[in-house]
């Protein structure tokens, strides 16, 4: 039964991955969290909690589990930003120890698998078709969004670790569904305006933007596929980087659908990102493809109606999650 350790297991994405792994009955799942309260939440979901108050600077508790339980795959879906360099370096060290111990015993052992969650914003914004074989960062047609420019370096470090670890990088597009966390600062004002009957609400997003999107369930399914395949690709020449996207939709249509669902009679003015880096990243145009993920990971996304078409369901889920 493969053992998987998830950094960020309590998060929006991490929780879905962990639950899907548990439901498969094929995996023992360890979830790292910084707080005892969230550890309890993990235990309720049959995920083995590892409380590690500062995984970036004091990784001892989770590294001990990788060592003592002989974990097979580590997944980084934590929101630790550049802390991901540290996670990678620490897991590389543990794997080197493991290899040295095996060599000393004169036996072979498999490398640790390592899957890093990046995001399609590293491609930058463009109306041209893009895929995961296109280079990102220096020399690419478009620069990464400033908010995530650091991420190109983390991806490079993960790719360079392939001599020590079996690695993979998954890049989800902008995620929607269930709690739709990342949308909170933009869609909450529309809900408030609908409740108060305001005339108008201004949202710092570009009306003309066309983000690439994906439902959180399909992201989790792709990670499960990646966990199952991470040991299979090394040595095959497959570039282990996969963009995950299932639709490209108009920001104007998304907010029209929200207004209509919540019965907001006033106007939603998408006034532009105004230079705010987060708002600007949300407006990244992404005409991407996940053909390689479907072909090579055998990933079959199923939440394919899109954000706009089923907005009534997503809007209701958002209210249930975020509004008292
Ligand atoms: N949401 C999207 O649309 C989207 C799209 C593409 C890529 N991504 C990427 O996917 C990853 C996960 O995103 P998410 O939306 O699931 O984030 P999230 O809901 O904020 O969850 C991240 C989890 O990471 C843990 N964490 C936060 N800071 C940490 C730190 N400094 N050290 C260790 N753990 C830390 C937290 O767990 P505890 O509090 O329990 O420790 C938290 O539950 C991120 O790298 C994000 O950039 C997200």
For residue 125 and ligand 1, the question of a CB distance below 6 A is answered with no
Task: From residue 299, give the alpha-carbon distance in Å to each of 64, 138, 222, 296.
Answer: 32, 30, 6, 8
Mean pLDDT of 38-66: 98
Q: Is 169:116 a contact under the CB 8 Å cutoff?
A: yes
Ligand 1 atom nearest the C-alpha of 120 is 6
Residues 262-277 have pLDDT tens digits of 999 999 999 999 999 9
Q: Is 56:80 a contact under the CB 8 Å cutoff?
A: yes
pTM value surpassing 0.95: yes
pLDDT of residue 114: 98
Ligand 1 centroid from CA 8, angstroms: 6
Out of 11, 147, 249, mutate this one to test ligand 1's pocket (max ligand atoms within 8 Å of CB): namely 11
Whether residue 108 is predicted with pLDDT greater than 90 in this model: the reply is no
Residues 290-319 have pLDDT tens digits of 999 999 999 999 999 999 999 999 999 999
Tokens describing residue 276 = 């705010």
Q: Is 203:279 a contact under the CB 8 Å cutoff?
A: no
pLDDT of residue 74: 98
Residues 202-257 have pLDDT tens digits of 999 999 999 999 999 999 999 999 999 999 999 999 999 999 999 999 999 999 99
For residue 10 and ligand 1, the question of a CB distance below 6 A is answered with yes
Can you say whether the dihedral through the CA atoms of 295, 9, 285, 151 is positive or negative?
negative
Which domains does the chain possess?
3-176+212-246+288-301 (3.40.50.720)
Cα 277 to Cα 311: distance, rounded to the nearest angstrom: 26
pLDDT band for 323, please (50, 70, 90 cuts). confident
Can you say whether the dihedral through the CA atoms of 219, 223, 225, 226 is positive or negative?
positive
Out of 13, 63, 220, mutate this one to test ligand 1's pocket (max ligand atoms within 8 Å of CB): namely 13
For residue 80 and ligand 1, the question of a CB distance below 6 A is answered with yes
Cα 200 to Cα 179: distance, rounded to the nearest angstrom: 25
Place of tokens 């970036």: 56
Task: From residue 104, give the alpha-carbon distance in Å to each of 110, 166, 306.
Answer: 15, 21, 53
> Shortest CA distance to 115 belongs to which of 192, 29, 227?
227
Phi, psi of 7, deg, nearest 5? -85, 120
For residue 78 and ligand 1, the question of a CB distance below 6 A is answered with yes
pLDDT band for 167, please (50, 70, 90 cuts). very high
Q: Under 8 Å CB-to-CB from 177, ≥6 apart: which residues?
A: 215, 216, 217, 303, 314, 317
Task: Give the closest residue (by CA) to ligand 1 atom 29.
Answer: 80
> Which residues does residue 169 pair with via DSSP β-bridges, in sequence order?
116, 241
pLDDT of residue 42: 98
pLDDT band for 322, please (50, 70, 90 cuts). confident
Give the CA angle between residues 170, 173, 174 to the nearest 5°. 135
């Amino acid at each position: 039964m493969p053992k998987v350790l998830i950094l960020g297991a309590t998060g929006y994405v991490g929780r879905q991955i962990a639950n899907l792994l548990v439901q498969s009955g094929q995996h023992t799942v360890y979830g790292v969290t910084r707080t005892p309260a969230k550890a309890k939440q993990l235990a309720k979901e049959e995920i083995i909690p590892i409380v590690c108050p500062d995984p970036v600077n004091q990784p001892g508790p989770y590294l001990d589990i990788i060592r003592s339980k002989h974990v097979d795959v580590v997944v980084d879906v934590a929101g630790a930003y550049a802390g991901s360099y540290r996670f990678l370096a620490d897991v590389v060290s543990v794997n080197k120890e493991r290899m040295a111990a095996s060599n000393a015993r004169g036996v072979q052992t498999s490398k640790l698998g390592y899957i890093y969650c990046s995001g399609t914003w590293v491609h930058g914004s463009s109306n041209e078709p893009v895929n995961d074989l296109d280079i990102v960062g220096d020399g690419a047609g478009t620069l990464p969004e400033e908010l995530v420019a650091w991420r190109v370096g983390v991806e490079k470090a993960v790719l360079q670790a392939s001599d020590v670890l079996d690695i993979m990088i998954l890049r989800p597009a902008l995620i929607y569904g269930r709690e739709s966390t990342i949308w909170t600062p933009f869609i909450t004002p529309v809900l408030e305006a609908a409740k108060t009957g305001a005339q108008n609400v201004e949202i710092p997003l570009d009306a003309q933007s066309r983000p690439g999107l994906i439902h959180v369930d399909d992201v989790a399914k792709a990670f499960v596929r990646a966990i199952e395949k991470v040991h299979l690709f090394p040595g095959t020449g497959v570039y282990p980087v996969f963009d995950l996207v299932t639709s490209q939709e108009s920001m104007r249509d998304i907010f029209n659908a929200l207004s209509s669902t919540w019965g907001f009679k006033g106007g939603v003015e998408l006034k532009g990102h105004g230079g705010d880096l987060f708002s600007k990243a949300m407006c990244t145009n992404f005409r991407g493809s996940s053909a390689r993920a479907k072909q090579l990971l055998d990933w079959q996304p199923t939440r394919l109606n899109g954000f706009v078409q089923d907005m009534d369901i997503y809007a209701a889920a958002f209210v249930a999650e975020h509004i008292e």
